[in-house]
Structure 1
Amino acid sequence: MIDELAQARGAVAASAAAPVWALAEHDLVAALDAAHRLEQQLAAVKLALVRELDGRGTAQAQGASSTAVWLRDRLRLSVPAARRLVEFASTLDTGAPEVRQALADGDVTLEQARVIADTVDNVRATAGTEVAGRAVGVLVDWAGQFDPTLLRKLATRILDHVAPEIADAAAKAALDAEARRATRDRHLTLSELTDGRLRLSGTLDAETAGLLRTAIDPLTAPSGQDDQRSPGQRRHDALADLCRLALRTGELPEHGGDPAQLVVTTSFDGLVRQLGAGTLDTGLALTAETVRRLACDAAILPTVLGGTSQTLDVGRQRRLVTGPLRRALVLRDRGCAFPGCDRPPRWCDAHHIRHWADGGDTSLHNAVLLCGHHHRHIHQGEWAIRLSADSHPEFVPPAWLDPEQVPRRNHYHRRT
């Protein structure tokens, strides 16, 4: 095999060096077809070698943690690409020998082979080996006419062609299984970048995908002939518009007893002079221009320091920390105040330092922000809370934890 591969490599190298400009058009097309077919056949050889190496445990014997990691180093692949290579090699070896042969013959591409292997595996589980064998022939024939994307769509109804008597029942079972997978795999990840921006990634189920497209598509159209935004930028702006619309409805769940609102903090003097920068309640800095724009939005709640103050001590007539009092608490604590906790304000509850039922009032001097975990911990544990001379909360640990009971503070949240 090594000698034959070496000869093939020499032939390929000679072809790469050949002056293609000298070929007639029909010869160019024929050479492209031949090169493409050879590429698939070499992929089949590569998969067979990977499968054998994986089965022998060569990677572990040479000190790698897995075959995928070994391939990453050996072939300079990414780990995901190497892992897919190992998994597909195993699939072709154990469950789809007919597909492996079609690839070796150059009748299907590597992408088409993946589609066929997946489909045959599903057919085998649903209708048995005999029907799966018939499905391979049909799918390979289709592969000569359709690209991988269309082939996968057609493959969803393969049983209509090879086992029509069970096609409807199998289609329903497959649809139910897909719905269960979609429910299980649904997620949305918000990753905060170092400059305060967010990276969004995730997978939406079919229903949510439909909702998002229905809501966002009308907002992504160019605003006019001079709209220079890219499609991605228009989708970004459409998402922002959706959030503003949702905030204006007043129907969102409350955060710690306060309506869902974006809070922008700036100085009164800076706002008047159109010079003051501001910050969101998440800590992200904003330009003066952005602050003034947001302050005019009905969905935005401006908190102006140094302007007309609002009464923060609402006494014992109200038990819940809401409205201006909660906003002042967020500005002071910046998040969960328990030492070492990094939970943001919107994950926090307002805790009465002296319990309301014990006569404590609902005021800034008797409140502290705590995340759910530390709120429960304080109520169940032996920690004491007090305000220091600079009006920031301190936590006194129980004697069994610190015999000296030295007060502790949260230094995680930025103080200004």
Structure 2
Amino acid sequence: MLEGLRQAEAAVAACADTGVWALPADDLIAALDAAHRIEQRLAAVKLALIRELDGRKTAIAQGASSTAIWLRERLHLTNPTARRLVDLASALDTGHPAIRQALADADITLDQAHVITDTVTTVHTTAGPEAADKAVTVLVDWAGQFEPTLLRKLGTRILDHVAPEIADAAAKAALDADARRAARDRHVSLSTLTDGRLRLTGTLDAETAGLLRAAIDPLTTPTGLDDTRSAAQRRHDALADICRLALRTGELPAKGGDPAQIVVTTAYDTLTRQLSGGFLDTGPTLTPDTVRRLACDAAILPAVLDSAGQVLDVGRQRRLITGPLRRALVLRDRGCTFPGCDRPPRWCDAHHIRHWADGGETSLDNAVLLCGHHHRHIHHSDWHVRLSGDGHPVFVPPAWLDPEQVPRRNHYHRRR
């Protein structure tokens, strides 16, 4: 298989280097159809490989918390895409070989395979395996005529064709299955851009969508004739207002021993003279005006930095015992420090580099932030962590994973 894939890759690379401008329209269309068929056949191969790797628990052995997370890092996918690939690979292998074959034959697309698998799973649950097999045949045939969204709509009445005697009763089951899929696929992704801004994407279930609209709509009304903001900009500003209102309630849960708060790091003299900005503990840099505005409406947590930007001391608030050291760790690490992990500080534990049982101190120089999974992994594996010369954590993989044992860093939480 590996040799065949290498030959296919070389052939595709040669096609990519070939100019298409001279091809007549008929040849362009034929080439597009051929490329599309190859894409679907390769998808079937990739799913088979993913299923085998998942079955062998290769990702767990290499330190990832799941196959989906491992795929995200290796193939540079989004979390939902990686998770759906793992789920589809499992479903096609264990219960729907006919769908896998249709994908391998390029009779359906990967998106259609997702739709057909979800629909057939519901039919199998409500009407049994014989009806499910009939549903595969009908849906694969429909896939030659309808794109995935319409195919999913048609699939809600598939039992009218394969098991009409229970179609009405099963319609409710289909709605319940849709609700479960909505719950499964719900997500919100936060991606930090290079200039400190945040890209917000996601899919909300129906209930949460209703809550968001109820909260945000009253705040998106134009303030007057001179309000030149677009509708999207008004929604952005409304979301900021909702966050401010939530923070001011004082009812948000604590994280890591600290109450919900925004921590801004800056030099005191530059703050008072309005000469330069600061940065949030989550990464983005703020302008001097923004820092001063936040300082008017927040508890000041002074963080003393040396010339290299390393944390020397962090102020404490009354009644908080573990807060200062944890805030220092968040300022330095900004999340789980294990390579490839994007989990934020609120999901992390403070790990002793030199274990407490071995006489390790509870200090900034002997601590790193690790999420629960990687905290356990470090304690039960041959990975080693240390602070590098610049004061940030690096991880040395075991020799069986990397014979050269090249130190690795986490790049998800870097400010620059």
Counterpart in the other structure of 1:199? 199
Q: Deviations over 1:320-375 (max 9, x none)?
A: 8x322112222334444456767654553211234445554433233222344442
Query: Aligned letter for 1:246?
Result: A
Cα separation, 2, equivalents of 1:375 and 1:284: 26
Counterpart in the other structure of 1:180? 180
SS at match of 1:64: helix
The 8 Å contact of residues 352 and 367 in structure 1, kept in 2 or not, is answered as: yes
Tell me how far 1:310 sits from its aligned partner.
4.9
Q: Deviations over 1:292-345 (max 9, x none)?
A: 1122233x7654436996568xxxxx9x8x322112222334444456767654
Tell me how far 1:269 sits from its aligned partner.
0.9
Q: Which residue among 159, 163, 166 is the counterpart of 1:125?
A: 159
Cα separation, 1, equivalents of 2:389 and 2:32: 64
Query: Aligned letter for 1:327?
Result: R
Matched, 1:66 2:100: no
Q: Deviations over 1:131-187 (max 9, x none)?
A: 9xxxxxxxxxxxxxxxxxxxxxxxxxxxxxxxxx986x5664453343233223323
SS at match of 1:276: coil
The 8 Å contact of residues 269 and 276 in structure 1, kept in 2 or not, is answered as: no
Q: Number of residues paired by the alignment?
A: 292
- Does the C-alpha gap of structure 1 residues 129 and 247 become closer, same or farther in structure 2, counting only changes over 3 Å? same
Q: Percent identity?
A: 64
Tell me how far 1:290 sits from its aligned partner.
0.9
Counterpart in the other structure of 1:305? 304
Taking structure 1 as the reference length, what is the TM-score of the superposition? Answer: 0.53
Counterpart in the other structure of 2:212? 212
Cα separation, 2, equivalents of 1:387 and 1:121: 55
Query: Aligned letter for 2:304?
Result: L
Tell me how far 1:61 sits from its aligned partner.
11
Counterpart in the other structure of 1:45? none
- Does the C-alpha gap of structure 1 residues 286 and 399 become closer, same or farther in structure 2, counting only changes over 3 Å? same
SS at match of 2:240: helix
SS at match of 1:261: coil
- Does the C-alpha gap of structure 1 residues 173 and 359 become closer, same or farther in structure 2, counting only changes over 3 Å? same
Matched, 1:244 2:249: no
Matched, 1:376 2:376: yes
SS at match of 1:350: strand
SS at match of 1:324: helix
Matched, 1:269 2:240: no
The 8 Å contact of residues 59 and 65 in structure 1, kept in 2 or not, is answered as: no
Counterpart in the other structure of 1:295? 295
The 8 Å contact of residues 156 and 171 in structure 2, kept in 1 or not, is answered as: no
- Does the C-alpha gap of structure 1 residues 238 and 355 become closer, same or farther in structure 2, counting only changes over 3 Å? same
- Does the C-alpha gap of structure 1 residues 187 and 345 become closer, same or farther in structure 2, counting only changes over 3 Å? closer
Query: Aligned letter for 1:66?
Result: R
Query: Aligned letter for 1:64?
Result: A
Tell me how far 1:387 sits from its aligned partner.
5.4
Gaps of 5+ in 1: 1-57, 70-81, 101-109, 132-164, 313-317
Matched, 1:329 2:363: no
Cα separation, 2, equivalents of 1:118 and 1:345: 39
Tell me how far 1:242 sits from its aligned partner.
1.9
- Does the C-alpha gap of structure 1 residues 91 and 287 become closer, same or farther in structure 2, counting only changes over 3 Å? farther
The 8 Å contact of residues 268 and 305 in structure 1, kept in 2 or not, is answered as: no
Tell me how far 1:128 sits from its aligned partner.
6.9
The 8 Å contact of residues 303 and 315 in structure 2, kept in 1 or not, is answered as: no
Counterpart in the other structure of 1:279? 279
The 8 Å contact of residues 386 and 395 in structure 2, kept in 1 or not, is answered as: yes
Cα separation, 2, equivalents of 1:289 and 1:282: 19
CA-based RMSD: 5.2
Tell me how far 1:59 sits from its aligned partner.
6.0
The 8 Å contact of residues 353 and 368 in structure 2, kept in 1 or not, is answered as: yes
- Does the C-alpha gap of structure 1 residues 403 and 93 become closer, same or farther in structure 2, counting only changes over 3 Å? closer
Gaps of 5+ in 2: 1-28, 41-107, 114-136, 307-311
The 8 Å contact of residues 339 and 411 in structure 1, kept in 2 or not, is answered as: yes
Q: Which shifted more, 225-234 or 350-359? A: 350-359
- Does the C-alpha gap of structure 1 residues 306 and 325 become closer, same or farther in structure 2, counting only changes over 3 Å? same
Query: Aligned letter for 2:363?
Result: S
Superposed, 1:319-398 pairs within 5 Å as 322-338=322-338, 345-356=345-356, 360-382=360-382
SS at match of 1:211: helix
Cα separation, 1, equivalents of 2:221 and 2:363: 48
The 8 Å contact of residues 333 and 392 in structure 2, kept in 1 or not, is answered as: yes
Cα separation, 2, equivalents of 1:365 and 1:96: 59
Q: Report 1 or 2 for greater relative contact order, CA contacts < 8 Å, sequence distance ≥ 6.
A: 2
Taking structure 2 as the reference length, what is the TM-score of the superposition? Answer: 0.53
The 8 Å contact of residues 261 and 301 in structure 1, kept in 2 or not, is answered as: no
Query: Aligned letter for 2:35?
Result: A
Counterpart in the other structure of 1:54? none
